[in-house]
Amino acid sequence: MKAFQVNAVQNYALADVQTPAVKEKEVLIRTAFAGICGSDMHIIHGQNPFVQFPRITGHEYSGTVAAVGDAVEGIQVGDRVCVDPVVSCGHCYPCRIGRPNVCSKLQVIGVHRDGGFGEYSCVPAGNVIRLPETVTLEQAALVEPYSIASNVLNRMAPLPGDTLLVYGAGVIGLTIVQVARALGIERIIVSDIIDERLEAAKALGASETINSAEQDLEARISELTAAEGVPLIADAACIPALLPQMLRIASPAGRIGLLGFTATPSDLVQLEVIKKELTLVGSRLNNGRFAEVLDMIADGRLDPCALISHRVELNGMCEAISLIEDHPSLTRKVLVEMKG
Ligand SMILES: [Zn+2]
Ligand SMILES: [Zn+2]
């Protein structure tokens, strides 16, 4: 089969590889659509220590079932599906308390094992999610990025009437805006330093935007919230230096959701956390959030295709990677159609 394969750091190409053979508890999926994610770019740049090369990347994808292993029940050849990339052991502490997305032996499809940028992939049956009839394969390929947004918002426990501030209007920030809208959060403020991104945030449901390169973010938030501060802050900018500011502009009893995968320390003032009794939550991948996202898409509350800026076929993937690298502000979600 044909696949987009990363052979080593900065070395990737379309390759002819063996179609994987389905094991007892696995499902063989013929990929229909796959999204290119920032973390695919990190793998290419050698910024993901978990990857062993060569690797067929791609952790956002949909397809149809081509074969099922002998021990698989409830999934049939021809089913339209998408893939939850979180593979967990089921036995460690986080698995035992229902947090498999931070399993101590976590494997991510498309990172630790081959993923969706090939014509076929084999995944554990437990990672295969059947699609509601009204969800298209194109929409289903993008459930995974929205599951990230659903996970962080769930961890922040929004209450009716809460205002949300989203730092960063890149792809992750935009998915948070859309899912927050779908959840019924009415007031969504988005900050970024690029006007085009802020316009996209507005189009997808932000009620107010702040260009923090031009405006004093702290002063503006104080104005917008009558000096009360914001109860919900989602960090999709992932700049460690901004964390102290988040503590200052959070309201008492506020919840801050963190998504940045950075090893750079931040200077936190403990007093800010204690006196306001803030909650800082980390959010990694997703913990069973596919069902909620599929519901939102099925009933029309969420349109994942609004995030797509470019569409390519598998043949065009290497050019698409260059486009994302050379023009990051022109690209949002790039969707790969697996024609063959
Ligand atoms: Zn991703
Ligand atoms: Zn585990």
Task: Determine whether 223 is exposed, middle or buried from the number of CB atoms within 10 Å of its CB (0-12, 13-18, 19+).
Answer: exposed
Q: Is the pLDDT of residue 129 over 70?
A: yes
Name the closest ligand to CA 100. 2
In eight-state DSSP terms, residue 141 is: T
Q: CA-to-CA distance for 312 and 171, rounded, in angstroms?
A: 18
* Å from CA of 253 to ligand 1 middle: 30
Cα-to-centroid distance, 288 and ligand 2 (Å)? 14
Give the pLDDT of residue 50: 87
pLDDT tens-digit map of 201-226? 999 999 999 999 999 999 999 999 99
Pick among 3.40.50.720, 3.60.21.10, 2.40.400.10, 1.20.120.160: CATH of 147-282: 3.40.50.720
pLDDT band at 339, cuts 50/70/90?
confident
Q: What is the largest CA-CA distance in the chain?
A: 62
Bond from prior residue into 265 cis (ω within 30 degrees of 0):
no
pLDDT at 99: 98
Buried b (16+ CB within 10 A) or exposed e, 286-295: bbbbbebbbe
Please say if the pLDDT value at position 325 is more than 60: yes
Q: What is the DSSP string of 260-288?
A: ----------HHHHHHHT-EEEE--S-SS
Residue 21 has pLDDT above 90, yes or no: yes
Residue written as tokens 């960063």?
Answer: 168
Look up the CATH superfamily of 2-141+303-337.
Answer: Medium-chain alcohol dehydrogenases, catalytic domain (3.90.180.10)
Residue-wise pLDDT for 135-161, tens only, equals 999 999 999 999 999 999 999 999 999
Question: How confident is the model at residue 262, as a pLDDT?
Answer: 85
Closest by alpha carbon to 256, among 166, 176, 126, 160?
166
Q: How far apart are CA 27 and CA 65, in angstroms?
A: 7
Ligand positioned closest to the Cα atom of 59? 1
Contacts of residues 324-331 at CB distance under 8 Å and 24 or more positions apart, as own/partner, are 324/36, 324/41, 325/41, 329/194, 329/196, 329/197
pLDDT tens digits for range 274-316: 999 999 999 999 999 999 999 999 999 999 999 999 999 999 9
Ligand nearest to the CA of 97: 2
> Residue 330 Cα, ligand 1 centroid: separation in angstroms?
18
The pLDDT, as a whole number, for residue 303 is 97
Quote the mean pLDDT of the chain. Answer: 96
CA distance 26 to 121: 10
pLDDT classification of 25: cutoffs 50, 70, 90? very high
- Asked if the model's pLDDT at residue 11 lies above 60, the reply is yes
Question: 85 near 109, Cβ under 8 Å?
Answer: yes
pLDDT band of residue 340 (cuts 50, 70, 90) is: low
Listed by start position, the domains of the chain span 2-141+303-337, 147-282
Pairwise CA distance, residues 326 & 258, whole Å: 27
Are the CB atoms for 142 and 307 separated by under 8 Å?
Answer: yes
pLDDT in tens, 32-82: 999 999 999 999 999 988 899 999 999 999 999 999 999 999 999 999 999
Q: What CA–CA distance (Å, rounded) separates 153 from 82?
A: 22
Confidence band (pLDDT; 50, 70, 90) for 254?
A: very high
Instruction: Name 47's bridge partners.
Output: none
Which one-letter amino acid corresponds to residue 193? Answer: I
* 233 vs 176: CA distance, rounded Å: 11
Distance 110 CA to ligand 1 centre (A): 10
